[in-house]
């Protein structure tokens, strides 16, 4: 039987296109050490030309809308193309931050107090500060990680931020002060805990993608008990949202030692210096080995679905 080709998808139409292209190129180079690999640049909300269900297994590095929200996954499933990562349903759940909150909190994982609102019916700043205090986080409910994130520290600042919200569905939540942690998962099992220390104090889009603006500690400099609690909470959240193969789960560790889930990223960044690879290195997986393991479950599914293929 000829070995399947790993089709690495990158680009896309979301605001995170350039980030995706960087992830895709890095992942494709690493995948090529262990599998036949082909790189596809996605230019529209559609399957790229040349994908063959009989030959290709997709490893997507698309970020944001259409990449992570289940859109690409539904097209792959309809076309009968095997792919790595969360399926369409799990992707849709995790891309919806409010649904993620509901799923994980039902299983005992804490989330910050918050509320969902539509832009045309946005709450007044005074009402939000009365409910959550002076420090409030605003973020689009369905958008890529960190896109649109705003952290306000006063009622006046919150009024300005709310004034700029004119469309879409948003979440307002109490800001949890403390340390930001992330945990990578492989086949639903937690790897290392990484601490994120943005110099600005907020891990927003700029801090995430501008070199030198954030420090990382892998493993996080926390107690063994807290690290174990973070890994357990990450595994619980992964299962609660119906995730598959791999993901990354982000938390705030409050100043009083409580863990609060921020979000689940089903297609995390895949440069060698990205957070998921950092988490993997904590448990002895280098970037090439990680990429091999990320696609391994899809390779198994491909073989099971095509047992007579020659």
Q: Which of 74, 159, 209, 242 is catalytic?
A: 209
The H or E element containing residue 41 is strand 37-42
Q: Are 29 and 44 in contact (CB under 8 A)?
A: no
Q: Which of 71, 263, 274, 292 is catalytic?
A: 263
Q: Which residues are CB-neighbours of 271 under 8 A, at least 6 positions away?
A: 22, 23, 26, 277
Is 33 among the catalytic positions?
Answer: no
Is 260 among the catalytic positions?
Answer: no
Q: Which of 96, 141, 269, 279 is catalytic?
A: 269
Q: Which of 11, 12, 14, 16 is catalytic?
A: 16
**Residue 121 burial class via C-beta count within 10 angstroms: exposed 0-12, middle 13-18, buried 19 and up:** exposed
In order of 124, 183, 278, the CA distances from 48 in angstroms are 44, 31, 30
Is 248 among the catalytic positions?
Answer: yes
d(CA 105, CA 30): 36
Q: Which of 23, 60, 141, 145 is catalytic?
A: 145
In order of 8, 140, 197, 225, the CA distances from 256 in angstroms are 42, 28, 18, 14
d(CA 89, CA 100): 12
Backbone torsions φ then ψ of 291, nearest 5 degrees: -60, -40
Q: Which of 179, 248, 281, 292 is catalytic?
A: 248
Is 256 among the catalytic positions?
Answer: no
Is 235 among the catalytic positions?
Answer: no
Q: Which of 20, 23, 265, 279 is catalytic?
A: 265
d(CA 184, CA 297): 16
Backbone torsions φ then ψ of 20, nearest 5 degrees: -60, -40
Q: Which of 250, 279, 281, 292 is catalytic?
A: 250
Q: Are 174 and 136 in contact (CB under 8 A)?
A: yes
In order of 22, 120, 282, the CA distances from 271 in angstroms are 7, 38, 16
Q: Are 90 and 242 in contact (CB under 8 A)?
A: yes
Is 265 among the catalytic positions?
Answer: yes
Q: Cite the active site residues.
A: 16, 145, 209, 248, 250, 263, 265, 269
């Amino acid at each position: 039987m000829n070995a399947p080709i790993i089709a690495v998808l990158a680009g896309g139409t979301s605001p995170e296109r350039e980030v995706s292209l960087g992830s895709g190129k890095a992942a494709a180079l690493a995948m090529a050490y262990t599998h036949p690999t082909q790189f596809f640049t996605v230019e529209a909300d559609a399957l790229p030309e040349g994908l063959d269900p009989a030959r290709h297994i997709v490893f997507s590095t698309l970020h944001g809308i259409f990449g992570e929200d289940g859109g690409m996954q539904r097209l792959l499933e309809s076309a009968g193309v095997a792919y790595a990562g969360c399926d369409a349903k799990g992707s849709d759940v995790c891309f919806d931050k409010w649904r993620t909150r509901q799923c994980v909190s039902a299983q005992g994982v804490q989330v910050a107090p918050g509320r969902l609102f539509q832009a045309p019916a946005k709450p007044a700043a005074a009402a939000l500060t009365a409910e959550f205090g002076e420090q409030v986080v605003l973020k689009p409910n369905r958008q890529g990680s960190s896109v649109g994130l705003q952290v306000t520290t006063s009622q006046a600042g919150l009024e300005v931020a709310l004034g700029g919200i004119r469309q879409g569905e948003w979440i307002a939540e109490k800001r949890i002060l403390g340390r930001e942690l992330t945990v990578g998962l492989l086949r639903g099992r937690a790897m290392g805990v990484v601490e994120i220390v943005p110099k600005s104090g907020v891990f927003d889009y700029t801090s995430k993608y501008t070199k030198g603006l954030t420090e990382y500690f892998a493993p996080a400099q926390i107690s063994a008990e807290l690290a174990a609690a973070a890994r357990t909470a990450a595994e619980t959240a992964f299962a609660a949202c119906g995730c598959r193969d791999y993901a990354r789960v982000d938390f705030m560790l409050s100043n009083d030692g409580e863990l609060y889930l921020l979000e689940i990223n089903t297609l995390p960044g895949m440069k060698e210096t990205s957070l998921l690879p950092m988490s993997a290195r904590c448990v002895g997986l280098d970037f090439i080995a990680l990429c091999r393991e990320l696609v391994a479950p899809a390779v198994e599914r491909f073989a099971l679905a095509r047992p007579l293929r020659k």
